[in-house]
């Protein structure tokens, strides 16, 4: 086994970021037209692990995710 400099345990979730002029949150069943939407990585574990992997040049979780059928973008 390879020694790890950093081990991140946490969640990974999709974040949907909506863009529109004057967009404010509304509660209940309210529909609002938006100009643009962006799907990005979210969750405290992922938010920590992604930049750390970029700095270190790799990650130990990557092969495990690929084996599970999770695609990398």
> Parallel, antiparallel, or unpaired: how do β-strands 13-19 and 36-42 relate?
antiparallel
How do residues 35-56 score in pLDDT, each as one tens digit?
A: 999 998 899 888 888 888 788 7
Answer whether residue 66 shows pLDDT above 60.
yes
> Cα separations (Å) of 64 from 20, 25, 61, 69, 70?
37, 37, 5, 9, 9
How do residues 8-22 score in pLDDT, each as one tens digit?
A: 878 888 999 999 988
CA–CA gap between residue 58 and residue 43 (Å, rounded): 19
């Amino acid at each position: 086994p390879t020694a790890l400099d950093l081990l991140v345990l946490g969640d990974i979730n999709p974040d949907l970021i909506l863009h529109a002029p004057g967009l404010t949150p509304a509660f209940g069943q309210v529909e609002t037209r938006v100009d643009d939407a962006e799907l990005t990585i979210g969750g405290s574990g992922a938010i920590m692990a992604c930049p750390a992997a970029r700095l270190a040049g790799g990650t130990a979780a990557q092969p495990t995710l690929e084996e599970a059928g999770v695609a990398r973008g």
